[in-house]
Structure 1
Amino acid sequence: MCGIIGYTGDGNDVLDVLMTGLSGLEYRGYDSAGIALTNGSLSIYKRQGELSALESALPEGGLDGEAGIGHTRWSTHGPPADVNAHPHTGPDGNVAVVHNGIIENYRALREELAADGHVFESDTDTEVVPHLIERELAAGADPEAAFREAVGRLEGSYAIAAVFAGSETVYAARNESPLVLGLGEDGHYLASDVPAFIEYTDRVIYLEDGEFARLDADEVVVTDADGTVVETSVETIAWDPEDAGKSGYDHYMIKEIHEQPDAIRKCLRERVEEMTRSITVEELANLDAPESVQFVACGTSYHAALYGARLLRERGIPAQTFLASEYDVDEIPVPPETLVVGVTQSGETADTMSALRGANRAGATTLALTNVVGSSAARECDHVMYIRAGPEIGVAATKTFASQQVALALLASTVTGAPSQSFVEGLRKLPDQVRTVLDDSSAREIAETYERADAYFFIGRKYNEAVAYEGALKMKEITYKHAEGFAAGELKHGPLALVTDRTPVFAMVTQGSKPQKTLGNVKEVEARDAPVVAVTDSRELVEPYADFVMEVPETHPAFTPILANVQLQLISYWVANRLGRSIDKPRNLAKSVTVE
């Protein structure tokens, strides 16, 4: 959940690379930041708070360095504080370490080291690592051997990088936490994610679990746990550095909401044939039609999976959706010929990866539906389908949710046979219809009306149920206001007790999703003086009962929720904007959740 950046080389100023990298990783969420540069000795600066606090602590004249590492921390062990920020050092100050993940046996290691006289300054699990390394150095090991020996003692998930005083080398290792290497012309990089160094190079190597890397100015060497050199493949990232900028928008989130038409087009490109009204997903050419499907996912991806499961069930394939953190193959039967689909934007989500690994052990066929080429999910599953949304920097997922929904519609058509003409036509029109919603939305006006509401409720049926959950999640994430999503029929089974004249209800009333029944729920809340905002493709049906109407174009029923969700994204954005929230970096949240 934290961010790592590292660099060694002659082509760039080390401090500039580290600070640029940390800035590129801010979207992942953090509460402190720090850097370590090596040039004879180690120069370490770290501060609680935003990156600006670290910048203000740096010397005015800058810092010289031959190599360095940096880190943004999202607290797990110990509260946000300067002392808990990374990098961490050992008692002699000869090594600096940054770490993502959780070291599960750190208590035992800490007690062992304390018995040897080691004194710890922080509350973190990470601090045991530099202490272990320095103990090996004191015993006569060279830096690489000391690093390997220390990492070999760790249990849990980790991406670790270290630098040593008097050395230009950066050492790294990973286990169940992402780490990617960047190959430059005059130096080499490592990071948790590509945006940290994309302006310097687009050539990358993804480390696998159990691998170590040694980065020098002129070479990168990847080895396994035994020290044997591993053959690696170099991939080229198809991102322009401008893709990760704001392009004149006030926030990444609103930029990414407006990028949804293009993201959907990229997802559909060469997969939907307009002339023949056919769908062909090349990545799935060797995927046999499953007898049943189990989706595993978290957060927004879970809501997309709910949508995908309904698509499959309506086409005759039994499909279930599980929260990845609750998926246990020892308790959940995985019948033969089951396809387990992990829906994960980053391809690194720890809970989803754990579920997929369990499915692999159970003998299921696995498919990763992800945005990140070369991610852990993409490498470890039997099949992978990319959603092609491009980089998403805002913590609150927007365009990736739309692209996940579209990709799941393509998946459903691929495994169930020829789609209807109206289905293909709906996909073809979808990008332009999303653009229409963006251009015509009254979300800003509605947000001004209800920004001070006590709570927000979202209701929908069938396909719209998942979007009700997602609409509420967006409102929670970026406004910090109470919001709940419900299957519309469940409103009267308890939640109706919470409805007041200060709880606006956003109701998705659309054709193909039992609009008359949902309209009955609208009347229930209207009778209790709750404001009603109807998201609909049938204005004349709901206008007599709604305080506001947000229209979406008519389309195939499977795609109405994608259009409706755009309206809900805009509502949440404008409420948060008026409340002055930190929209791109909501408190306590991280973009890529790599701990269980």
Structure 2
Amino acid sequence: MCGIVGAVATADIVGVLVQGLQRLEYRGYDSCGLALHLGAPLADGAAPGRGLWRARSTARVSELAAQVQGVAAATGIAHTRWATHGAPAVHNAHPHVSHGPGAAAGQRPARVALVHNGIIENHDALRAELQALGYVFESQTDTEVIAHLIDSLYTGDLAEAVHRAAQRLQGAYAIAVLHHDEPQRLVGARAGSPLVLGVGTGGDGVPAPLYLASDALALAGVTDRFVFLAEGDVVDIQLGRWRVLGRDGTRLDDAQRPIKTVQVGSQDVALGPYRHYMQKEIFEQPRALADTLEGVEGIVPELFDDHGVRSRAAWRVFDTTQRVLILACGTSYYAGCVARYWLEAIAGVPTTVEIASEYRYRTSVPEPGTLVVTISQSGETADTLAALRHAQALGLTDTLTICNVATSAMVRECELAYVTRAGVEIGVASTKAFTTQLAALFLLTLALAQRKGRLSPEQEAQHLRAMRHLPAALQAVLALEPQVIRWAEDFAAKEHALFLGRGLHYPIALEGALKLKEISYIHAEAYPAGELKHGPLALVTSAMPVVTVAPNDALLEKLKSNMQEVRARGGVLYVLADADTHITASEGLHVIRMPEHYGALSPILHVVPLQLLAYHTACLRGTDVDKPRNLAKSVTVE
């Protein structure tokens, strides 16, 4: 969602701030802005001006870049905002400033400038308190409260003021703060939202530039050395040096907050020959799966032991696992739903899948022997992190995450991890993250099956051969794109669609419906095909296309009966069928034949045509494919 970039250096950092925001545009945003400290001297010793200077826009980052052209500064902060409190408008855009009590914009120079990711839950009470002190509010945001609060607590030390303010905040936040009186200082703090310190390279007596960002990707090509801040940390950045303070205000040493070298490939964000990032990422899935499965020579628990860092933890956890609880949101939740079929059928392990945003708010019964599995592309999904912590508070300490970001909070907070290698996913609608999550979950299924004595060496070898063949099988599915485009031409004129599946393909129908509604804005629903006669059949007319996922499995004949129910009501079917299903195209029955039947791994293949269908339908309808309205990529607030 929202993005933060900040820097303290001796050279002009405006270009770094703008470029960082551009790298975070994929998250989704409705406004952007930056604040510069013009009192910070540049390398030649000259200060370009005095005090804090701000620019904001409700257009794209490129428009903000035009506003700041010709402006130079050595210290600054920048932000992309996805609206929560207050409409998308310039006066609600970050950075927010405080002019001190009794003053509004134009009456006194700004004393504090601040950017913020997250939501402050007690902002109303703080606002009333600060208004009583004479502070004038110019926005409807919760963020402006933090700026005034820090100003009210400032006695000459910005880090101290930020730390004291953080003790008053309830909710989630990552903040970066400047003060008028300290031109070469930037202070950040985090709780519930990610924040990293980037350490640049100096030399020849020039202090190393230092950076702050909500995502290491924002600093791709600028630095590959990062300090990942933990819950409650305050980071105090001054020219050429920094310190990290813990929640209690004590300084943390280098061993507690070490510098880690992380390769953040800027090439991953290049669009290349593709029209949209979503299209690029759909076609990257064979490579993403190959990378995710690289090095998997056999099924052993160590695959989930966070690359061997935690010795034999996976053996202990898997040997005591009696049931699995999966926590996830959105597309990741549907990956968990597929995994439930695998875990129960192959490993014989009872499995529950919970929507993370619901799990923490209901009374649940923790059961001994439960392995808690979280699934998240970013590893920073607020609802999933909160659900994980809730499960841990209930005593469920055996935790594992399937995640695409090795440095994320989810990986750090779980006992075990399998890091997928999908690469950076820019499009809001997840594609390659989903299929790599499924691959990792299938490996988890096999690992648990092995520990339970339900996987023979012959079965293990068979499954591994099938997984190694997945990249080639996906290439064959992608070759079906011209047929999918013909379907999309029909769908582009529709306003409603129904998706059907049975068994482990029902979650794939759910994911197909989600993709269509996310980016084409067509209302789409998905049902288990056996539920048609229990209500959804009332919706079926010739105006509502019905997409059916029809692999050649044990439920095929029942699915054919459900298809006949649709045809009898004049419904038009669009069927993804295996070659040997004997489903033949006819009037009102459109068929795309999958290249091969893939057994238990079939969901990984069948979802790809549904991704392509959503993509090409959206293109024909002219929607913003990569940044659909009202949505954000990394949902880091509740």
Range class of TM-score, shorter chain: over 0.9
Partner of residue 440 from structure 1, selected from 456, 480, 495: 480
Match of 2:287 in 1: 262
- Name the stretch that deviates more: 243-252 or 112-121: 243-252
Match of 1:129 in 2: 146
Partner of residue 438 from structure 2, selected from 388, 405, 412: 405
Q: Distance in 1 between matches of 2:429 and 2:269?
A: 15
- Percent sequence identity is 42
| Cα 1:7–1:352 shift into 2, 3 Å | same
Confirm whether residue 564 of structure 1 aligns to residue 616 of structure 2. no
Contact 2:403-2:411 at 8 Å conserved across structures = yes
CA RMSD for the aligned pairs? 1.7
Structure 1 unpaired stretches of 5+: none
Confirm whether residue 174 of structure 1 aligns to residue 190 of structure 2. yes
Q: Secondary structure at the match of 2:127?
A: helix
Confirm whether residue 337 of structure 1 aligns to residue 359 of structure 2. no
Q: Secondary structure at the match of 2:335?
A: helix
Match of 1:452 in 2: 493
Contact 1:347-1:372 at 8 Å conserved across structures = yes
Q: Distance in 1 between matches of 2:411 and 2:591?
A: 41
Q: Secondary structure at the match of 1:405?
A: helix
Q: Distance in 1 between matches of 2:351 and 2:260?
A: 34
Q: Secondary structure at the match of 2:469?
A: helix
Cα drift, residue 279 of structure 1:
5.9
The superposition leaves residues 431-466 of structure 1 with CA deviations (integer Å, 9 ceiling, x where unpaired) of: 111011112332112111221012111111111111
Confirm whether residue 191 of structure 1 aligns to residue 198 of structure 2. no
Q: Distance in 1 between matches of 2:568 and 2:61?
A: 50
Work out the number of aligned pairs and report it. Answer: 587
Contact 2:159-2:234 at 8 Å conserved across structures = no
The superposition leaves residues 344-372 of structure 1 with CA deviations (integer Å, 9 ceiling, x where unpaired) of: 11111111111100111122111111111
Q: Distance in 2 between matches of 1:237 and 1:435?
A: 30
Q: Distance in 2 between matches of 1:556 and 1:173?
A: 48
Match of 1:322 in 2: 354
Partner of residue 87 from structure 1, selected from 95, 100, 119: 95
Match of 2:304 in 1: 283
The superposition leaves residues 151-179 of structure 1 with CA deviations (integer Å, 9 ceiling, x where unpaired) of: 22111110011112251211100001111
Confirm whether residue 159 of structure 1 aligns to residue 161 of structure 2. no
Cα drift, residue 329 of structure 1:
8.1
Confirm whether residue 580 of structure 1 aligns to residue 622 of structure 2. yes
What amino acid sits opposite 1:335 in the alignment?
E
Match of 1:392 in 2: 425
- Name the stretch that deviates more: 171-180 or 188-197: 188-197
Q: Distance in 1 between matches of 2:585 and 2:487?
A: 17
| Cα 1:400–1:197 shift into 2, 3 Å | same
Match of 1:484 in 2: 525
Q: Distance in 1 between matches of 2:216 and 2:540?
A: 45
Match of 1:31 in 2: 30
Structure 2 unpaired stretches of 5+: 40-50, 101-109, 202-207, 306-311
Q: Distance in 1 between matches of 2:621 and 2:468?
A: 37
> What does 1:14-53 correspond to in 2, within 5 Å?
14-40=13-39, 41-53=51-63
| Cα 1:59–1:181 shift into 2, 3 Å | closer
| TM-score, normalization by structure 2 | 0.89
Q: Distance in 1 between matches of 2:448 and 2:569?
A: 45
The superposition leaves residues 229-275 of structure 1 with CA deviations (integer Å, 9 ceiling, x where unpaired) of: 223122222332101211221111100001100110111111144xx
Match of 2:106 in 1: none
- Name the stretch that deviates more: 325-334 or 262-271: 325-334
Contact 1:345-1:400 at 8 Å conserved across structures = yes
Q: Distance in 2 between matches of 1:547 and 1:169?
A: 66
Cα drift, residue 571 of structure 1:
0.4
Contact 1:272-1:280 at 8 Å conserved across structures = no
Q: Distance in 1 between matches of 2:476 and 2:227?
A: 40
What amino acid sits opposite 1:557 in the alignment?
G
Segments of 4+ moved more than 4 angstroms: 278-281
Match of 2:158 in 1: 143
Contact 2:480-2:609 at 8 Å conserved across structures = no
Match of 2:224 in 1: 202
| TM-score, normalization by structure 1 | 0.95
> What does 1:521-532 correspond to in 2, within 5 Å?
521-532=562-573
Confirm whether residue 98 of structure 1 aligns to residue 115 of structure 2. yes
Match of 1:502 in 2: 543
The superposition leaves residues 445-498 of structure 1 with CA deviations (integer Å, 9 ceiling, x where unpaired) of: 211122101211111111111100000000011011101111111122111111
- Name the stretch that deviates more: 227-236 or 155-164: 227-236
Q: Distance in 1 between matches of 2:364 and 2:303?
A: 31
What amino acid sits opposite 2:65 in the alignment?
E
Cα drift, residue 111 of structure 1:
0.4
Cα drift, residue 216 of structure 1:
2.7
What amino acid sits opposite 1:150 in the alignment?
A
Match of 1:76 in 2: 84
Contact 1:272-1:279 at 8 Å conserved across structures = no
Q: Distance in 1 between matches of 2:261 and 2:547?
A: 43
Confirm whether residue 218 of structure 1 aligns to residue 240 of structure 2. yes
- Name the stretch that deviates more: 294-303 or 330-339: 330-339
Cα drift, residue 503 of structure 1:
1.2
Cα drift, residue 408 of structure 1:
0.2
